[in-house]
Amino acid sequence: MNKVIEVKARTEATAAPDAESAGTPAVVRKKRHVRRRIGPLDIALGALIPVVGIAIWQFYSGSGRVDSFFLPSPLLIASTVADLGATGELFTHTGISLQRVLLGFLLGGGLGLIAGLLVGFSKRGEELFDPMLQLLRMTPNLAVAPLFILWFGFGELSKVVIIANGAFFPMYVNAVLGIRSVDNRLYEVSKVLAYSRFDTIRRLILPSSVPQLLLGVRLSLAVSWLSVVVAELINSTSGIGYLIYYGQYNSRTELIFVGILIFAVAGKGIDSLVRLLERRLLGWRDTYKG
């Protein structure tokens, strides 16, 4: 008898949390997603492949098995970076390129956002403007760069316009996709709730479009950073692209590698900032994290 009572008590104790959770709202029962922190082991694993690659690179280049004209050693590149930093040239060229990228992105990305909103909200606007814009989107930036130089001269304006031309289309396409990807059933609900046109845009369409708009910002910045190479390689006396051109003209391969390294590091830094903004604004999304 005592054993029966003991088993019954255990069963009730085990079932109690289930009964309690059954009456708990689903929102409360939902597990909170805990963001996994990046530890030293994660950093070490992420740096493993680059470190091994640089070590192999240094071994072959430093031992003379590979001509430094074709592939300078990492130590020579690091020494060149240190020399440019000591003279201030490194920071001057990098700052000028960043300024051009920012101005081009603000101009091209801003116009792309406006055009995307106009086309996304209007079927007639899509019929009128989208075919022409898609035709221009397929034109390589390098092909139209000489035309911009002829139109706007060899100064800063032509470089900013070249960058803006590259930044325009990623922002435009993603703005249109963001608006058109809003669930039509939600739009019907907004009609039932008697939302005005302004309230529908402010409360429904724009918040739903934020993920796609942020993707547009990320891609637009990336293309802006790539376009500054085109702008500075064609005709410039400053900037990282000019540094690469100077290295090519004077057969200094290490300068070319320095320019490539700066582009890679600065581009990754800009992309990481946008991704951080994306995580903060879109932390509410419950998506697969792998």
Statement: the pTM of the whole predicted model exceeds 0.85:
no
pLDDT bucket at 285, cuts 50 / 70 / 90: low
| Residue 243 neighbours by CB under 8 Å, 6+ apart | 89, 93, 255, 258, 259, 262
List helix spans (H) across 181-288. 184-192, 197-200, 206-234, 240-249, 253-281
Task: Name the nearest CA neighbour of 178 among 135, 129, 218.
Answer: 218
pLDDT at 87 over 60: yes
Q: Is residue 286 part of a domain?
A: no
Q: Is residue 264 part of a domain?
A: yes
36-56: average pLDDT: 75
Q: Is residue 225 part of a domain?
A: yes
Predicted local confidence at residue 256, as pLDDT: 92
Q: Is residue 44 part of a domain?
A: no
Predicted local confidence at residue 28, as pLDDT: 42
Instruction: Give per-residue pLDDT as tens, 273-283.
Output: 888 888 887 76
Q: Is residue 256 part of a domain?
A: yes
pLDDT at 204 over 60: yes
Q: Is residue 222 part of a domain?
A: yes
* 121: its two tokens: 């909200």
Predicted local confidence at residue 67, as pLDDT: 76
Instruction: Give per-residue pLDDT as tens, 114-126.
Output: 999 889 888 888 8
Burial of residue 243 (CB within 10 Å: 0-12, 13-18, 19+) is buried
More confidently predicted of 99 and 41: 99
* 118: its two tokens: 């106009």
Q: Is residue 287 part of a domain?
A: no
Domain limits for position 105? 80-281
More confidently predicted of 228 and 9: 228
Assign residue 266 the CATH number of its domain.
Answer: 1.10.3720.10
pLDDT bucket at 165, cuts 50 / 70 / 90: very high
Predicted local confidence at residue 146, as pLDDT: 87
Predicted local confidence at residue 33, as pLDDT: 47
What is the tally of structural domains in the chain?
A: 1
In angstroms, rounded to a whole number, what is the distance separating the alpha carbons of residues 178 and 80?
A: 45
Predicted local confidence at residue 38, as pLDDT: 65
Q: What percent of the chain has pLDDT over 70?
A: 83
Q: Is residue 228 part of a domain?
A: yes
